[in-house]
Structure 1
Amino acid sequence: MPDLHSTYRHLYSSLSELSRLLNSKYPEIKTLMGPDPHLKWIVSGMVFMQFLACYLVKDLSWKWIFFWAYAFGGCINHSLTLAIHDVSHNAAFGNNQAKWNRWFAVFANLPIGLPYSASFKKYHIDHHRYLGGDSLDVDIPTDFEGWFFCTPLRKLLWLFLQPLFYSLRPLYVNPKAITRMEIFNALIQFSIDLIIYCLWGLKPIIYLIAGTILCMGIHPISGHFIAEHYMFLKGYETYSYYGPLNWLTFNVGYHMEHHDFPSIPGCRLPMVKKIAAEYYDNLPHHQSWIRVLWDFVFDDTIGPYSRVKRLCKLAEES
């Protein structure tokens, strides 16, 4: 493993210098950049599948509503949040069609039940630009989270409440003015929710929102939240996962590759690893997101504090 790569991984996980190094050594990586022509069709199919599910669950008992929300609908909704992640990097229509990407993300948001896509993009840019930056990267847990959720039971509760912290933390850590796109996102989302309620009642709405909350909490897919940047090994703050759940999550498991080349859509990230195998094969990575969740809860050395946090000045310079 080249020393330069190891050094950058140890310090910052992903820097533009490293991307330039890989681009110069492997020029074929540049051909992987650009939109994914299949993404919009896959996402559209998932959205309409959830609308069909809303019709099918309208007469079910409440216990089955929550069962299918966790076992089926929530998996699709979590997958859609990761599709929105890909679209936030203009993976649906390309960099020259940023407006279409933003509106398509609003469309992908519809089954999630709550407005999400516009706010996510606003803060996700900072996550890439200021990875680990104190008060800049809102992916970093607050001091209260690190202090309080420090025992297995409390960490389990933190995982369950993770959707709440994930959505409210930006408002406390780095509040930003509400954008016009966020207003449109909310108006369209709540209008669709109202239409579903008028057509089929309350149960489909609960099915959608409960699925989103449950599957972003204690669920195998939600292991990616912990796997991506929690420092399981000292000196490494970004990890990839190459297991089968990538099929459901638009390859978000290829996270080192994603941070090195955020303009490459998820469908092509495995090719990055294949082309630059000498740079990725020997780096620490996760074998199982379920194991990640287990270790997070029961390993005393891992918790919400297990993140690299940089001072704002350092974050801005990096």
Structure 2
Amino acid sequence: MGNNVPRGDFEWVYTDQPHSSRRKEILAKHPEIKSLMGPDPNLKWIVTAMVLTQIVACYLVKDLPWKWLIFWSYAFGGCINHSLTLAIHDISHNVAFGNKDAKWNRFFGIFANLPIGAPYSVGFKKYHIDHHRYLGGDGLDVDIPTDLEVRLFCTPFRKVIWLFLQPLLYVLRPLCVNPKPISQMEIVNTAIQLAFDLLIFWLCGLKSVVYLVAGSILCMGLHPISGHFIAEHYMYLKGYETYSYYGPLNWITFNVGYHMEHHDFPSIPGSRLPEVRKIAPEFYDNLPQHSSWIRVLWDFVFCDSIGPFSRIKRECKLVKSD
């Protein structure tokens, strides 16, 4: 991985991220992969069906006892909401309508955001660009835990708390690490989201709003699907900063498990990422990979050698956007 010099608890490297160079190597050998790039025409229909399912669910749960409301929030609604956040991840790369219709992607992301209960889509896009451009970049990639998180969440019990707090940390961390001005589209995202939440409250009552918000919090925290948050970039093997997972949970997460492939080719929709591995298996089959997100969470909590500090960091020069 280059000349690694320990600084603090993180693994500091002084080399560029590997994805750009591997992308060039793969395209030189397999130029047909370029045909996989571009919008996925099915994505908008799948996301629309998921949003409508949650709206129907709001009506069905409005009179449930609280204990069953929380159960279905965790077991059903939250799974859909977590899946929608991963649809928003895909949409942030303009794969719903293509790069030529970037504005439509932003508004569709806001639509996909509705059942999540809190405005998320536009702000995520703003920071996710940096995650790809400056992977592991100190002060730029807000996916990296802060030094405070590393110090606080260092025992098995505290790491469980850290996993539970993931939704809150993903909101607060950017404000501390790399604050950016609020954009007009973020205000639009917030206004539309609040209007939707109030509409659900008016039509179905408080329990339906709790169903949506509690599902988002619970299933983006301590939940098997949330294993992908840790599996993607936490250093389970020294020197490797991105990992793929090829198991069945990809079926409900827009193939986010194909994360090595995604960082190599972010303009390829999640639905086509398995094709990347099929076309170029020699570049992926021998790389470290995860077989279970549940096992990822278990090891994260109970292995002393793994924790919020298990990330590769690098100094990156800020590139001005056009």
Tell me the residue number matched to 2:236: 232
Tell me the residue number matched to 2:150: 146
Give the alignment's TM-score, normalised by structure 1: 0.95
Tell me the residue number matched to 2:175: 171
Tell me the residue number matched to 2:50: 46
Query: By how many angstroms is 1:21 displaced?
Result: 1.6
Tell me the residue number matched to 2:220: 216
Distance in 2 (alpha carbons) for counterparts of 1:309 and 1:163: 22
Query: By how many angstroms is 1:316 displaced?
Result: 6.0
- Once the two structures are superposed, residues 94-145 of structure 1 have per-residue CA deviations (whole angstroms, 9 ceiling, x without a partner) of 1111000000000000000000000000000000000000110000000000
Name which of 252, 258, 263 aligns with 2:262. 258
Tell me the residue number matched to 1:305: 309
**How do 1:56-205 and structure 2 match up within 5 A?**
56-205=60-209
Tell me the residue number matched to 2:4: none
The question of 1:290 aligning with 2:294 is answered: yes
Aligned residue for 1:253, secondary structure, equals coil
Aligned residue for 1:170, secondary structure, equals helix
Distance in 2 (alpha carbons) for counterparts of 1:162 and 1:230: 14
Change in 2 beyond 3 A, CA 1:10/1:48: farther
Percentage of pairs with the same residue:
72
Query: By how many angstroms is 1:17 displaced?
Result: 2.6
Tell me the residue number matched to 1:6: none
Distance in 2 (alpha carbons) for counterparts of 1:291 and 1:215: 17
Q: Which runs of 5+ in 2 are unaligned?
A: 2-12
Q: Do 2:14 and 2:314's aligned partners in 1 also have CA atoms closer than 8 Å?
A: no
Aligned residue for 1:90, secondary structure, equals coil
The question of 1:268 aligning with 2:286 is answered: no
Query: By how many angstroms is 1:147 displaced?
Result: 1.0
- Choose 45-54 or 163-172, whichever is displaced more: 163-172
Query: By how many angstroms is 1:24 displaced?
Result: 1.4
Tell me the residue number matched to 2:6: none
Query: By how many angstroms is 1:27 displaced?
Result: 1.0
Q: Do 2:139 and 2:178's aligned partners in 1 also have CA atoms closer than 8 Å?
A: yes
Query: By how many angstroms is 1:15 displaced?
Result: 3.2
Q: Do 1:10 and 1:236's aligned partners in 2 also have CA atoms closer than 8 Å?
A: no
Distance in 2 (alpha carbons) for counterparts of 1:10 and 1:297: 29
Distance in 2 (alpha carbons) for counterparts of 1:167 and 1:230: 19
Tell me the residue number matched to 2:23: 19
Q: Do 2:44 and 2:96's aligned partners in 1 also have CA atoms closer than 8 Å?
A: yes
Query: By how many angstroms is 1:13 displaced?
Result: 4.8
RMSD of aligned alpha carbons:
1.6
Distance in 1 (alpha carbons) for counterparts of 2:145 and 2:69: 32
Aligned residue for 1:196, secondary structure, equals helix
- The structure that is helix-richer by fraction is 1
Query: By how many angstroms is 1:12 displaced?
Result: 4.7
Distance in 2 (alpha carbons) for counterparts of 1:148 and 1:310: 22
Q: Which runs of 5+ in 1 are unaligned?
A: 4-8
Change in 2 beyond 3 A, CA 1:194/1:20: same
Q: Do 1:11 and 1:235's aligned partners in 2 also have CA atoms closer than 8 Å?
A: no
Distance in 2 (alpha carbons) for counterparts of 1:13 and 1:95: 24
Query: By how many angstroms is 1:19 displaced?
Result: 1.0
Q: Do 1:227 and 1:289's aligned partners in 2 also have CA atoms closer than 8 Å?
A: yes
Distance in 2 (alpha carbons) for counterparts of 1:283 and 1:11: 19
- Once the two structures are superposed, residues 139-167 of structure 1 have per-residue CA deviations (whole angstroms, 9 ceiling, x without a partner) of 00000001110000000000001111111
Q: Name the amino acid aligned to 2:219.
A: C
Distance in 1 (alpha carbons) for counterparts of 2:14 and 2:94: 29
Distance in 2 (alpha carbons) for counterparts of 1:88 and 1:24: 27
Distance in 1 (alpha carbons) for counterparts of 2:39 and 2:81: 22
Distance in 2 (alpha carbons) for counterparts of 1:162 and 1:84: 17
How many residue pairs align between the two structures?
Answer: 309
Query: By how many angstroms is 1:11 displaced?
Result: 5.2
Q: Do 1:32 and 1:268's aligned partners in 2 also have CA atoms closer than 8 Å?
A: yes
Give the alignment's TM-score, normalised by structure 2: 0.94
